[in-house]
A and B are shown apart, each in its own frame.
Chain A
């Protein structure tokens, strides 16, 4: 087992512990909701049933939110490399192509002769990553 796997598993241990608590709360909330139904139909206690429904629904929502947050945190733990793009241009005919970055690419690096005009060497004019803004936008 590599060191990074060990780290990942130790990070997962925390979420397992949390998951255990969340599952208990989830189970209790379901029991509460069943009790509410029981109190309403069998015991004919509308108010007690109302109480139980509120408590059950609150616990259910809370455990759902915590579960969602934990999953989101676990997802951010992955160290994904962004997709890098390289722009290649021919200064003679103006052909512009974009391809995925390859090791050794750098801006102003001269490549093979342009296949379209066969007159001038192509050149890398840009290397960038394209990302989508995922955060909330506060328009003020």
Chain B
């Protein structure tokens, strides 16, 4: 007997099917059982197909949920360890940290939207202050820089806890109702949620060690421009330095570092514009911008408008002032992924800082005259970036 290849065996099977059916016992042989089994499977799939699909999706979500819980618990552990290490508390802070992780903020009522920005600003300010006070209580030995880093660490742990709880909520709801649509929605967004969770997990390490993150590229650029010149504090955790720049006077601003801090860019820009009685030839905002898939990390793009994230309070304040004094606004952004924005700064983003400065230089030379006063703001978290 000689060996024949599988492809030949299949050809032989197809061309001589009736002969083999007879050889294997005809209609009553195992081929009939396969037919019967296929029919049964077909009917099972008609009635239970969706249920089977739901179960498979639930298992998929479950494995992600396990991973999410692991990341969340690691976050909690890191937060507690960092607070204990830097703050040297005299009592056990675990329960206090747990209380903070469940901390929530209720947005202002928007039925009558007039004045909502001021209300939101107030609520956010109270929230930040409350969190800072909590950290101060838990870590009494911390200096100001460490205090801000601890606050950021706690915020990252809070974000992870929230993500985990939301995913768990929909997972249990889906399991209870066995609704394909509830489970499907959760399964569809899960890759994005996991990406965000992994980014926050990386952020925890960066915050606890005081390392610059992707979002710190704005302050890094501003820091490079203002370094060597005297910087003084303006409104709430922001600094400004007067720098001679290509025959112009540049007022370079950033959040005060090296502690984890974004400052209040809206109020700070408002204050500086008012201080200069609106005589600002141009405002340049430099920030990290979200890249689209296919774009390269560290690419630089130019545009107009206030390049600033967050709930919109700062952008609103800046725009109000710009409209009042008719100040043109330009933006330079450094492209990065959502995961890179909160994770420790990548080399590509770090290297992009010098290229961005060149773009700002070109922008200033093309759009302003010698002797003008310009305002440059490096937006972002100043963690790990001095001035």
- Chain B residues contacting A127 (CB-CB under 8 Å) are 211-212, 345, 350, 384
Contact of A3 with B210 in the complex, beta carbons under 8 Å: no
Q: Evaluate whether A7 and B384 lie within 8 angstroms (CB atoms) in the complex, with A47-B20, A84-B344, A107-B220 already known.
A: no
Contact of B66 with A14 in the complex, beta carbons under 8 Å: yes
How far, in whole Å, are A106 and B349 apart by their CA atoms in the complex? 16
Q: Evaluate whether A108 and B386 lie within 8 angstroms (CB atoms) in the complex, with A4-B74, A10-B66, A128-B349 already known.
A: yes
Contact of A128 with B74 in the complex, beta carbons under 8 Å: no
Q: Which of B6, B63, B345 contacts A53 (CB 8 A)?
A: B6
Contact of A131 with B12 in the complex, beta carbons under 8 Å: no
> How far in angstroms is the closest Cβ of chain B from A24?
17
> How far in angstroms is the closest Cβ of chain A from B60?
11
- Chain A residues contacting B10 (CB-CB under 8 Å) are 50, 54
B interface, by DSSP: helix, strand, loop or mixed?
helix
Interface positions, chain B 200-247, Cβ under 8 Å from A, are 201-202, 205, 209-212, 220, 223, 227
Q: Evaluate whether A11 and B385 lie within 8 angstroms (CB atoms) in the complex, with A47-B9, A140-B294 already known.
A: no
Contact of A49 with B9 in the complex, beta carbons under 8 Å: yes
How far, in whole Å, are A101 and B13 apart by their CA atoms in the complex? 67
| B133-145 interface bits toward A, Cβ cutoff 8 Å, 1 = contact, 0 = none | 0000000000000
B62 close to A (CB within 8 Å)? yes
Contact of B6 with A131 in the complex, beta carbons under 8 Å: no
Contact of B384 with A81 in the complex, beta carbons under 8 Å: no
Interface positions, chain B 222-279, Cβ under 8 Å from A, are 223, 227, 257-258
- Chain A residues contacting B9 (CB-CB under 8 Å) are 46-47, 49-50
We find that the number of chain B residues with CB closer than 8 angstroms to chain A is 45
A129 close to B (CB within 8 Å)? yes
Contact of B385 with A14 in the complex, beta carbons under 8 Å: no
- Chain B residues contacting A119 (CB-CB under 8 Å) are none
- Chain B residues contacting A104 (CB-CB under 8 Å) are 210
How far, in whole Å, are A126 and B344 apart by their CA atoms in the complex? 12
Interface positions, chain B 64-84, Cβ under 8 Å from A, are 66-67, 69-71, 73-74, 77
- Chain B residues contacting A40 (CB-CB under 8 Å) are 1, 3
Chain A interface size range: 35 or more
Residue on A with the closest CB to B11?
A: A50
Contact of A4 with B6 in the complex, beta carbons under 8 Å: no
How far, in whole Å, are A103 and B209 apart by their CA atoms in the complex? 6
Interface positions, chain A 30-50, Cβ under 8 Å from B, are 40-41, 44, 46-50
> How far in angstroms is the closest Cβ of chain A from B156?
13
B387 close to A (CB within 8 Å)? yes
How far, in whole Å, are A128 and B213 apart by their CA atoms in the complex? 8
Residue on A with the closest CB to B64?
A: A73
- Chain B residues contacting A48 (CB-CB under 8 Å) are 24
How far, in whole Å, are A103 and B77 apart by their CA atoms in the complex? 19
A-B contact pairs, 5 of them (CB 8 A): A10-B66, A50-B13, A79-B70, A79-B71, A128-B347
Please give the residue numbers on chain A whose beta carbons come within 8 Å of chain B beta carbons, in ascending order.
Answer: 3-4, 7-8, 10-11, 14, 40-41, 44, 46-51, 53-54, 73, 76-77, 79, 81-82, 84-85, 101, 103-109, 126-131, 138, 140
Query: Apart from A7-B66, A46-B4, A82-B344, what are 19 other A-B pairs with CB-CB below 8 Å?
Result: A3-B77, A4-B70, A8-B70, A40-B3, A47-B9, A47-B13, A48-B24, A73-B67, A77-B70, A84-B211, A84-B344, A104-B210, A105-B210, A107-B220, A107-B223, A108-B385, A126-B350, A128-B349, A128-B350
